[in-house]
Amino acid sequence: MLVLFDSPAGHCLFKVMDSGLLKKPEDIWDAFTSAESAKKAVKLKAFHKFEDTAEAVQSATALVEGKLSAGMKKFLKKSIVSKELQETLAVADAKLGGAIKEKLGIACIHDESALQLTRGLRNQIESLVEAASASEMKSMAIGLAHSLSRYKLKFSPDKVDTMIVQAIGLLDDLDKELNTYAMRLREWYGWHFPELGKIVPDHQMYAKALMKMGVRTSCKSLDFSDILPEEVELEMKDAAEISMGTEVSEDDIANILQLCDQVVSLSEYRAQLWDYLRNRMQAIAPNLTTVVGELVGARLIAHAGSLMNLAKQPASTVQILGAEKALFRALKTKHDTPKYGLIYHASLVGQAEPKHKGKISRVLAAKCALSIRVDALGDTSEPTVGYEGRLKVEERLRQLQGKAPIPKEEVKLAVKQPKVAMAADAKAGGYSTAGDAVLDGKKAKKEKKAEAGDDEAAKKAAKKAKKAAAAAAGENGDAEAGEKKKKKRDKDDDEEKPKKKKKSKE
């Protein structure tokens, strides 16, 4: 009998030397208690070593699913079929045995003796396979275990959302530090050249110009075309000649220039970190990035702790995520709860009018929740759900603003094409029909308002006529009622007069 065993190092084919072991399966384990007894019980007939971990993972996953891998099929053909061996093959999995018999025609068995043989071989595999040392076998087993676990979990290093949480936190810290340094630099150099602060509002340009200039007297002889626009450069040179600033020493300028170097390096690192964060968001949460952008999406993930935690939240929680303090204060004081949290900074919410921001936030949160779940649990990396959700939110925004809806052809084209291509087309100098749609929408809105005004005027006139008719009817009714009452009084008086006469006679 032959025994097929798949080790971390490769495929093994053993021959049972003692046929008496198969008669008593309960005694098989005793034959594998030591390396010497195991070598007497079985003998290595053939061995195929895996070339790399990928081949080992492929073979292991096929065994888990009960399938025959290409490597094992080739190994069995070479070891059994080509040699025309007629012996029975013992396997540890019944499904695998069926696949081998179906594809190669080898008789396979799967019983108690086969399981006990596999158990014994697993215990003494390091001593039975001399082609791989014990340390090599151990390292291969660890590598295969890790790779197989990653495969089962569909793990990818690009999907680690911890990097996003750390990157967005560092980005916020850099913004605060950069703003502090830049304001300190402006205040410090403002004693020497106060006019420069208003002329160059950008912090990085300010620091670069200062590093090149040093003292303001050298400003006129230098060229700043690689840093500043031409008109700003001319204005700066004119202001340097008539500046009201005081003179400073060389030590002061040296320290100021060191601070400039810090501001420039921090600005460059912030730009690099922003590119890293944007690429990470495109890899981890492409649908969420399409709907709300990289920055808002990263803040949502960081606030929830991870992408999976965010995916477990309903749309109502995503809508007010980041406004917990205001929410609990409103619940405590029994006031209105907040309508939005971090999602308020999304571009779609910013485009809406103040009275429509709450509605757009609710619609956007619903599409965000769907996109987050697709990113966290879906297999595809295409942001199709994000594009569709963003288009629906934009359509709802146009509806609230009274504009014409987006044509279906443009919607289909936007879903098919990537966002970058759409942005590039928008920058081209061609004619855009979006303006026509907006104008038509405005005209339609004015016409609707005019029609509504005419209808309201007609309704008001009808109401006035109805009230006048009711008033006239009321006056006529009062007159008729007065006449009836008068007739009744006269009749009562006529009846009372004879009674009085009778009483007087008596």
* pLDDT tens readout for residues 368-417: 999 999 998 887 778 899 999 999 999 999 999 888 777 766 655 555 54
Specify the pLDDT at position 495. 52
Q: Does domain 285-437 have CATH number 1.10.240.10?
A: no
Q: Which of 113-117, 342-346, 501-505 bottoms out in mean pLDDT, i.e. has the lowest?
A: 501-505
Evaluate if residue 66 carries a pLDDT over 80: no
pLDDT on residue 433: 38
Please state, in angstroms and rounded to a whole number, the distance separating the CA atoms of residues 157 and 80: 41
If we measure between CA atoms, which residue out of 250, 247, 243, 259 comes closest to residue 210? 259
Question: How many residues belong to the chain?
Answer: 506
Q: With contact defined as beta carbons under 8 Å apart, do 22 and 75 qualify?
A: no
In the chain, CATH 3.30.420.220 covers: 2-153
What is the pLDDT at residue 319? 92
User: Is the pLDDT assigned to residue 104 strictly greater than 90?
Assistant: no
Dist. CA 171–CA 179, nearest whole Å: 12
Q: What is the pLDDT of residue 492?
A: 57
Contacts of 295 (CB under 8 A, 6+ apart): 168, 345
pLDDT band at 472 (very low <50, low <70, confident <90, very high): low
Is residue 159 over pLDDT 70? no
Most confident of 125-129, 246-250, 296-300, 430-434: 296-300
Over residues 148-165, mean pLDDT: 70
Residues 6+ apart with CB under 8 A from 126: 132, 134, 137
pLDDT at 46: 84
Q: Does residue 216 register a pLDDT over 70?
A: yes
Domain with CATH 1.10.246.90 in the chain: 285-437
State residue 411's pLDDT score.
56
| Weakest mean pLDDT among 7-16, 148-157, 219-228, 276-285 | 148-157
Percent of the chain at pLDDT above 90?
Answer: 35
Q: What pLDDT is stored for residue 321 in this prediction?
A: 92
Q: What residue ranges of the chain are covered by domains with CATH 1.10.287.4070?
A: 162-274
CATH 3.30.420.220 fits 2-153, yes or no: yes
Determine the topology of domain 162-274 in CATH.
Answer: Helix Hairpins (1.10.287)
Beta bridge partner(s), residue 108: 89
> Can you tell me the distance from the alpha carbon of 302 to that of 164, in angstroms, rounded to the nearest whole number?
7
Contact 385, 287 (CB under 8 A): yes
Q: What percent of the chain has pLDDT over 70?
A: 78
Confidence of residue 202 (pLDDT cuts 50, 70, 90): very high
